């Protein structure tokens, strides 16, 4: 049976520095949950609090209904995979994997059976007698994963397990980890600063910054409906444009978001009632969400440069207010526009997000995605 993890108002201090100040989140049984954020935001600190390597200065961490704050790490029944593998160089693959079972005084025959089974699960059974020095990075990481799960932990924790691998292997290994986790159904907390990896591997993601959770959601929700401008720009590319809201002379219940005082506006039927006529807002638009028109409505822009990437062409444009924008056009039959081409960039109301202009710059509620 998989367990839940309930983190309630936890505080972490190093000396006088408060790194995490009252953070709460619930991880469901069997969930693949990712902590994502820039370097230094507190991901590893939180992971180490869950496993018990770090003390907790306030709040509670519960596994199901059991508070684990004061239970030492070796009694928490959790497995951990580290960035640097942390496998023993002087032991064969099989001995590395058997280590935790021997420590737990499991009988010899049972150890052999367990090790064989786990090595098959992580697809390195053919390497069982190899020494780590003769394994590739990906194979070493499979050993580390096997070693973490062979003890049948209640929770699997992984701290940037793929960051020492090259790009191609990272993709291969993330798929392998996801499918192994799925197969054994273990509640998993995964730490990464790589947003694409987080989108690809997670059931849900918590985006962190400065020790604070900015948003928790499924990958698609986080990408399409970021809670604030930090999330919008940290996950994928976003153009953040200045705009204002027009409520006068609009159809009942609808409002317009007008860009750059130049008259191009889009009708938004679901914008919060609290917005005022003339209120300044920030609008985020993903590069792939612009529609490029060479004669038609839109935000006036000029092509400055372009890069053809096969699947798509990536344009760098200057808008009429001097701001820059990145625009992606999927190749298809589209011609590549020469530098200097004047275009209009149209946006679809359902594909943009409207944020407060100042302060926390959070999403203005009430905008629905159709």
Ligand X SMILES: Nc1ncnc2c1ncn2[C@@H]1O[C@H](COP(=O)(O)OP(=O)(O)OP(=O)(O)O)[C@@H](O)[C@H]1O
Between 19 and 115, name the residue whose CB sits nearer to ligand X: 19
Q: How far is CA 136 from the centre of its chain?
A: 27
Beta carbon nearer to ligand X, 42 or 132:
42
**Do the beta carbons of residue 139 and residue 79 sit within 8 Å?**
no
Shortest spacing between CB 159 and ligand X, in angstroms: 8
Q: Are 199 and 235 in contact (CB under 8 A)?
A: yes
Considering only residues 83 through 102, tell me which ones interact with ligand X, judged by CB under 6 A: none
Quote the least distance from Cβ 27 to ligand X, whole Å. Answer: 17
Residue 33 or 290: which CB sits closer to ligand X? 33
| Cα 39 to chain centroid, rounded | 13
- What minimum distance in Å lies between the beta carbon of 85 and ligand X? 16
Minimum Å gap between C-beta 340 and ligand X is: 42
Q: Which of 14, 296, 297, 348 binds ligand X (CB under 6 A)?
A: 14
Q: Which of 128, 147, 193, 286 binds ligand X (CB under 6 A)?
A: 193
Q: Shortest gap between Cβ of 4 and ligand X (angstroms)?
A: 23
Residue whose CB is less far from ligand X, 114 or 159: 159
Report residue 38 as tokens. Answer: 């820039």
- DSSP codes, 60-86: EEEETTEE-TTS-GGGS-EEEE-TT--
Q: Measured from the CB of residue 161, what is the shortest distance to ligand X in angstroms?
A: 13
Q: Which is nearer to ligand X, 55 or 175 (CB)?
A: 55
DSSP 116-157: HHHHHHTT-GGGTT--GGGS-HHHHHHHHHHHHHTT--SEEE
CB proximity list for 83: less than 8 A, separation 6 or greater: 159, 160, 161, 163, 164
- Residues touching ligand X: how many (CB under 6 A)? 11
Whichever of 194 and 269 has its CB closer to ligand X, that residue is 194
Q: 222: part of which helix (H) or strand (E)?
A: helix 219-224
Residue pair 190/180 in contact (Cβ under 8 Å)? The answer is no
What is the separation, in whole angstroms, between the first and last Cα of the chain? 38
Q: Is residue 128 near ligand X by the rule CB under 6 A? A: no
In the complex, what is the shortest distance from the CB of residue 165 to ligand X, in angstroms, rounded to a whole number? 16
If the CB atoms of residues 46 and 243 are measured against ligand X, the closer one turns out to be 46
For ligand X, the closer CB: 39 or 305: 39
For ligand X, what does the binding mask look like between residues 31 and 60, x meaning CB under 6 A? ------x-xxxxxxx---------------
**Shortest CB 19 distance to ligand X, Å:** 4
Q: Which residues of 162-194 are buried (b: 16+ CB within 10 A; e: fewer)?
A: beebeeebbeebbebbbebbeeeebbbbbbbbb
Q: Which residues does 29 contact at the CB level (< 8 Å), separation at least 6?
A: 1, 2, 3, 4, 187
For residues 96 and 111, the answer to whether their CB atoms sit within 8 Å is no
| Binding residues for ligand X (CB under 6 A) | 14, 19, 37, 39-45, 193
């Amino acid at each position: 049976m998989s367990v839940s993890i309930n983190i309630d108002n936890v505080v972490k201090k190093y000396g006088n520095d408060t790194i995490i100040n009252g953070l709460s989140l619930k991880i469901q049984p069997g969930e693949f949950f990712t902590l994502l954020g820039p370097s230094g935001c507190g991901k590893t600190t939180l992971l180490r609090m869950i496993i018990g390597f770090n003390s907790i200065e306030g709040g509670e961490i519960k596994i199901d209904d059991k508070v684990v704050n004061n239970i030492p790490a070796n009694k928490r029944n959790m497995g951990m995979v580290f960035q640097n593998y942390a496998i023993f160089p002087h032991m064969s693959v099989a001995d590395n994997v058997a280590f935790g079972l021997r420590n737990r005084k499991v009988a010899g025959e049972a150890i052999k059976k367990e090790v064989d089974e786990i090595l098959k699960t992580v697809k390195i059974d053919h390497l069982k007698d190899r020494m780590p020095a003769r394994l590739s990075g990906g194979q070493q990481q499979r050993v580390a994963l096997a070693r973490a799960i062979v003890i049948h932990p209640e929770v699997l924790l992984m701290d940037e397990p793929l960051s020492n691998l090259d790009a191609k292997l990272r993709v291969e290994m993330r798929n392998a980890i996801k499918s192994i986790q799925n197969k054994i159904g273990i509640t998993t907390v995964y730490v990464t600063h790589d947003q694409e990896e987080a989108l690809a591997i997670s059931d849900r993601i918590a985006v962190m910054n400065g020790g604070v959770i900015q948003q928790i959601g499924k990958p698609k929700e986080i990408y399409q409906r970021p809670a604030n401008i930090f999330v919008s720009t940290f996950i994928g590319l976003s153009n953040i444009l200045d705009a204002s809201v027009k409520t006068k002379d609009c159809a009942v219940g609808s409002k317009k978001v007008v860009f750059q005082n130049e008259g191009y506006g889009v009708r938004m039927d679901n914008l919060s009632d609290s917005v005022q006529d003339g209120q300044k807002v920030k609008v985020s638009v993903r590069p792939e969400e612009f529609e490029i028109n060479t004669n038609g409505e839109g935000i006036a822009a000029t092509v400055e440069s372009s890069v053809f990437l096969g699947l798509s062409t990536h344009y760098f444009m200057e808008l009429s207010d001097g701001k820059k924008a990145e625009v992606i056009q999927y190749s298809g039959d589209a011609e590549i526009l020469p530098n200097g081409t004047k275009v209009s960039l149209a946006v679809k109301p359902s594909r943009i997000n409207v944020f407060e202009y100042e302060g926390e710059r959070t999403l203005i509620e009430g905008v629905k995605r159709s």
